[in-house]
Structure 1
Amino acid sequence: MAMTIDQAHWFADTFASVVRNVERAIMGKTEAVRLAVTCLLAEGHLLLEDYPGTGKTTLARALAQSVQGQSSRIQFTPDLLPSDVTGVTIYDQKTGDFEFHAGPIFANIVLADEINRASPKTQSALLEVMEESRVTVDGHPYPVGAPFMVIATQNPIEQAGTYRLPEAQLDRFLMKTTLGYPDRDATLRILATGGTRPRSAALAAVITTQAVTEMSQLASSVHVEPAVFDYIARVVEATRVADDVRLGVSVRGGLALVRCTRVWAASQGRHFVVPDDIKMLAVPCLAHRLILDPESEFNGVTGEQVMARVIGSVQPPTERAVS
């Protein structure tokens, strides 16, 4: 059943209340906050890459605080083991049975702080759970529940002793975005209200996990015209032949863009997707999925720049496709 206008308005109002709550902790970054909430409601995972002190961890914590569910934080270090993330089976001498002790990945929102500091073996421990919302320990699957979201952070500057995320891991993230430094007005407000206690710790939940699940299901009923599907397909195909690109966006990337645009449209109070939604979300949804030519990457070309060129070159639909 397609989303109704009343449902779209309720969705937009609830979406806005979550954004306002998160902005009490992370000021002057409305667009980044909206992207984070969109990622949550699209049932995806978010990668935040930015300089130290820009509020990456604060944004993740504030979003977790805004949802009335369980949250956890994993500090990724070189000596972190996969079992430290997923959990471990321990033999109980009293009962003579093996008992599973769940790791910190069993939460509704998991903050994976400085994910690129862990070894590739530990990073790969997240692959299954991010894709299938479950972990397998000693041959037994354990679901992590719903909603489930991983918010990972990484610092692009301090690369000594870090392990770059492989392409398979990057593709599991629905979105990748940055925060950047706040403007002067936001900086003054942060300085005036900042204290020793993190602002995110004082936030109250404004939405339940059940409401998150309902909103996710409702967003899947947002209407997408065949002409818009065709536009997304043409954008995805254009990335595969774009200059500076060795490997373009896969079908998984196209599906990710569809999921996000549906949530984004509903957050605007609409029950249908328009081409401008694709233009808005193409960079955060698709840029990190591109594999650039080594020479282009060495010359400073970024996936964001390539996606901006692709969006500018692909003509959006101006009328409905005739079936």
Structure 2
Amino acid sequence: MIYNIQTGQFEVKKGPIFTNFVLADEINRAPAKVQSALLEAMQERTVTLGDTTYDLPTPFFVMATQNPIEHEGTYPLPEAQIDRFYMKVLVSYPTAKEEKRILHRMTGTLEPTVKKVASKQDIQKLQKLVSRIYVDEKIYDYVVSLVQATRQTHKDYIRYGASPRAAIAWIKAAKVEALFDERGYVIPEDVKHTAHDILRHRLILNFEAEAEGITTDNVIDTFLQEVEIP
């Protein structure tokens, strides 16, 4: 809300959250109130200003980054808020070829170019197409068994297991994987292939795991080996 001196009234000025794609760079450096507001928008797809609620545009997508090395001056996200992110993707160092491209782009004289690859309507059509991908009951059972396993086994290393939101995101991710492979149905390999990205930020390990150098990816590997594949 911005006060207009000429009219003597407060006017709504929509901020950067009102867009289709939001990049929250180093989100763990944002104060807790900012994190909470962003993550509420992610969940509800709305923003409340004063006593009025505004819908966010469709599609709405948030990508956030975190620096895994430097923690000074950061505000760690609570577990319940982290759970609202569909995936956590690890980004390693670039390859030699990629790093050379970065050097050319950042130190050369050529201006970067942007090429449109899809419209908003294209993305909405793909979202509807993904929703129609078939999921057999055995696949649902498989995902439920895996999520349940995070809460019932390996308690030596796990403090908190995955929530029901993890299972929802997992099924959707498996559908996208099937679409990438040009299939109209989900297979167990789709579930396994998306397991780490879906679960690694949702499993909270204890101090024993940290002391032994056990990572969430290690624990996920164990689940995938032990839970029977349909």
TM above 0.5, yes or no, is yes
Structure 1: how far apart are the matches of 2:182 and 2:195?
Answer: 20
Aligned length: 228
Structure 2: how far apart are the matches of 1:174 and 1:220?
Answer: 16
Three-state SS of the structure 1 residue aligned to 2:200 is helix
Cα deviation, 1:299-318, whole Å, max 9, x if unaligned, reads 3322222111111111111x
Structure 1 segment 241-256 matched on structure 2, within 5 A = 241-243=152-154, 244-256=157-169
Instruction: Please name the residue that 2:182 is paired with.
Output: 269
**Conservation of the 8 A alpha-carbon contact between 2:135 and 2:186:** yes
In structure 2, relative to structure 1, the CA distance for the partners of 1:159 and 1:298 (3 Å cut) is farther
Deviation at 1:190, TM superposition (A): 4.7
**Conservation of the 8 A alpha-carbon contact between 1:242 and 1:306:** no
Instruction: Please name the residue that 2:148 is paired with.
Output: 237
In structure 2, relative to structure 1, the CA distance for the partners of 1:199 and 1:275 (3 Å cut) is farther
Three-state SS of the structure 2 residue aligned to 1:215 is helix
Deviation at 1:199, TM superposition (A): 9.2
Deviates more, 1:179-188 or 1:168-177: 179-188
Instruction: Please name the residue that 1:75 is paired with.
Output: none
Structure 2: how far apart are the matches of 1:199 and 1:263?
Answer: 36
Cα deviation, 1:260-300, whole Å, max 9, x if unaligned, reads 11111111111000000000001101121111123323433
Instruction: Please name the residue that 2:77 is paired with.
Output: 165
Instruction: Please name the residue that 2:86 is paired with.
Output: 174
Give the TM-score, by structure 1 length. 0.66
Q: RMSD of the TM alignment (CA)?
A: 2.0
Deviation at 1:200, TM superposition (A): 10
Structure 2: how far apart are the matches of 1:121 and 1:198?
Answer: 41
**Conservation of the 8 A alpha-carbon contact between 2:45 and 2:56:** yes
Deviation at 1:97, TM superposition (A): 3.1
Deviation at 1:154, TM superposition (A): 0.8
Where do 5+ consecutive residues of structure 2 fail to align?
none
Structure 1 segment 1-323 matched on structure 2, within 5 A = 89-188=1-100, 190-191=102-103, 193-196=104-107, 201-243=112-154, 244-317=157-230
Deviation at 1:95, TM superposition (A): 3.0
Structure 2: how far apart are the matches of 1:199 and 1:285?
Answer: 38
Structure 2: how far apart are the matches of 1:190 and 1:112?
Answer: 22
Instruction: Please name the residue that 1:28 is paired with.
Output: none
In structure 2, relative to structure 1, the CA distance for the partners of 1:195 and 1:161 (3 Å cut) is closer
Higher strand content, 1 or 2: 1
In structure 2, relative to structure 1, the CA distance for the partners of 1:298 and 1:140 (3 Å cut) is farther
Give the TM-score, by structure 2 length. 0.92
In structure 2, relative to structure 1, the CA distance for the partners of 1:100 and 1:272 (3 Å cut) is same
Structure 1: how far apart are the matches of 2:18 and 2:211?
Answer: 39
**Conservation of the 8 A alpha-carbon contact between 2:89 and 2:197:** yes
Where do 5+ consecutive residues of structure 1 fail to align?
1-88, 318-323
**Conservation of the 8 A alpha-carbon contact between 1:112 and 1:151:** yes
Runs of 4+ in 1 over 6 A off after TM superposition: 197-200
**Conservation of the 8 A alpha-carbon contact between 2:105 and 2:112:** no
Structure 2: how far apart are the matches of 1:201 and 1:99?
Answer: 37
Structure 2: how far apart are the matches of 1:238 and 1:263?
Answer: 24
Structure 2: how far apart are the matches of 1:198 and 1:258?
Answer: 45
